[in-house]
Structure 1
Amino acid sequence: METKRDTSFTSVVALDEKRQQNIPQQYVLPPSQRPSPTPVDHISTSLPVIDLSMMYHPAYRSQLIDQVVNHGIPASVMKDALDSAEEFFDLPSDEKMCFASTDVHKPVRYGTSMNHGTDKVFYWRDFIKHYANPISEWIHLWPSNPPAYR
């Protein structure tokens, strides 16, 4: 059964590009669900704090990424994967939207939220999700643009 393409969301990338003055309501958490600006007593203060606001600062980006270690994936593989993902998210919206779907079980799906039909608030991120194991059964469904993605 073919699922209808989901064009009911605005990608976070598109929101950023538009530099909108007002945030669309579907991206605003109700006050009761917003994180507390003060530390919660039951959370250990020994947990590392990773400040994601530095992700776009050229001098700190590599330090931020380097905080995740000992996973066994070669650095060259990670770089290639990140470069391909960046190229995908830099594509024009219409090229990415061909992977948008309301079907959460679709083997390749682009979106901002896990389930646009039921989520009351969308996440502040865009994602592409795809099945990958075993790769031989799924890679033909992955985006062909950018060419290095597959």
Structure 2
Amino acid sequence: MDSLLSTMEFHQTVPEQFVLPPEKRVAGEINTSVSLPVIDLRGGPHCYVEDRDKLIEQVLQAGKEFGFFQVINHGVSEQLMKDIMGVTEEFFNMPKEDKAAFYSEDTSKTNRLFSSTIYGKDGPRYWRDCLKLACYPVPETINEWPDKPTKFREVLAKFIVEAREVSMMLLTLICEGLGLKEGYFEGDVSSGQVLINANYYPPCPKPDLTLGLPPHCDRNLITLLLQGEVSGLQIMHQGRWVGAAPVPNAFVVNFGHQLEIITNGILKSVEHRAVTNSGAARMSMAVFIMPTMESFISSAKELINEENPPLYKSFLFKDFLRIYTDLSAKRVDVMEAFKVNG
């Protein structure tokens, strides 16, 4: 518990274990001339969209060019988004004795509170605290969530259902746009755990010495991120880092490795990282749609032909997770491991 950044009153220096080797530190200019596409979902999952073809085109184009985009008018209310960020902030601000039951450095535990992220046995530590929870189906998971603050469970239960609906809407649009059979992304490929990472990045006295999260790609199918009002997310685009400026009441959407493999590389899982700052604490809430552990992942047959042979091997999702962890989530290494003839 003493290693939790959120339990310390202030940080005047960066502890040695958080100081990155020079080659891993933030370097180079940020490309400020490029911004992520912002897509209007016209009301979200339960709204009939007249210009559906145009919406599908926008989603696919953003996915092909960036692998990231932001969505507005997605159907999750502004009040609910404020509420989930509010109760999460309350959680991190609680006395450490109230959080002690959830604290664990055991990476095999699904539900836990921990400090930092360590990739590799002797890797550096990163400047964040994280509350990780399995959240779906709600009736099967809710009793394992923190019961403090008082409304935490109530708010998260509503939020996770609505956030998942937005994710499934986007997957349906992608399915239609790529000509896959109806319901392709339903079933095992999207009915595994819905995980959240509630992230807290305190002000850092020397942001140039550390990172909140290292460059990585997500291991799952699709991710929704509620990133709050403080900037920190950066995306690799055409060899340069691009900042994802917060858009009010928007979700940042990005594709995981599984979606890139299923679409045979049409849609990309793109490297991203979290940087720190010295002026303000930053919070974010990431929602990960996961396949079941026994889900069989392969490139969709509809997207394979003589001109477009399969780029990736087929595998069980549980086997992918093992290799992803062994390779410290590095995109080049992970994708190379699953390439045909890789």
What residue is the counterpart of 1:103 in the other structure? Answer: 106
Range with greater deviation from structure 2 (90-99 or 19-28)? 19-28
Where structure 2 has 5 or more consecutive residues not aligned to the other structure, the ranges are 37-69, 154-342
Task: Note the 1:52-131 alignment, pairs <5 A.
Answer: 69-70=71-72, 71-115=74-118, 118=121, 120-131=123-134
Code of the residue aligned with 2:85 in structure 1: it is L
What residue is the counterpart of 2:139 in the other structure? Answer: 136
What residue is the counterpart of 1:12 in the other structure? Answer: 5
Please give the alpha-carbon distance, in whole angstroms, between the structure 1 residues aligned to 2:26 and 2:35.
17
Aligned pair partner of 2:35 in 47, 54, 57: 47
SS, match of residue 98 in structure 1: helix
Give how far 1:96 is off: 1.7
Judge conservation of contact 1:102–1:116 (CA < 8 Å) in 2: no
What residue is the counterpart of 1:30 in the other structure? Answer: 21
> 1:106-133 deviations in whole A, cap 9, x for unaligned?
2311112235883622221111110001
Give how far 1:90 is off: 0.7
What residue is the counterpart of 1:57 in the other structure? Answer: none
- Over aligned residue pairs, what C-alpha RMSD do you find? 2.5
Please give the alpha-carbon distance, in whole angstroms, between the structure 1 residues aligned to 2:143 and 2:122.
30
Judge conservation of contact 1:132–1:139 (CA < 8 Å) in 2: yes
Alignment TM-score, normalising by the size of structure 2: 0.32
Please give the alpha-carbon distance, in whole angstroms, between the structure 2 residues aligned to 1:118 and 1:149.
34
Select the structure with the greater relative contact order (CA < 8 A; seq sep ≥ 6): 1
Range with greater deviation from structure 2 (23-32 or 135-144)? 23-32
Please give the alpha-carbon distance, in whole angstroms, between the structure 1 residues aligned to 2:122 and 2:152.
29
Range with greater deviation from structure 2 (137-146 or 95-104)? 95-104
Please give the alpha-carbon distance, in whole angstroms, between the structure 2 residues aligned to 1:12 and 1:140.
26
Give how far 1:34 is off: 0.3
Change (3 A) 1:92 1:81: same
Code of the residue aligned with 1:47 in structure 2: it is S
Judge conservation of contact 2:105–2:114 (CA < 8 Å) in 1: no
Q: State the number of aligned residues.
A: 119
Please give the alpha-carbon distance, in whole angstroms, between the structure 2 residues aligned to 1:145 and 1:116.
30
Give how far 1:14 is off: 2.8
Change (3 A) 1:116 1:78: same
Give how far 1:84 is off: 0.6
Give how far 1:138 is off: 0.8
Judge conservation of contact 1:27–1:123 (CA < 8 Å) in 2: yes
Change (3 A) 1:119 1:87: farther
SS, match of residue 108 in structure 2: coil
Change (3 A) 1:44 1:89: closer
Code of the residue aligned with 1:73 in structure 2: it is V
SS, match of residue 23 in structure 1: coil
Where structure 1 has 5 or more consecutive residues not aligned to the other structure, the ranges are 1-6, 49-67
Alignment TM-score, normalising by the size of structure 1: 0.67
Change (3 A) 1:117 1:138: farther
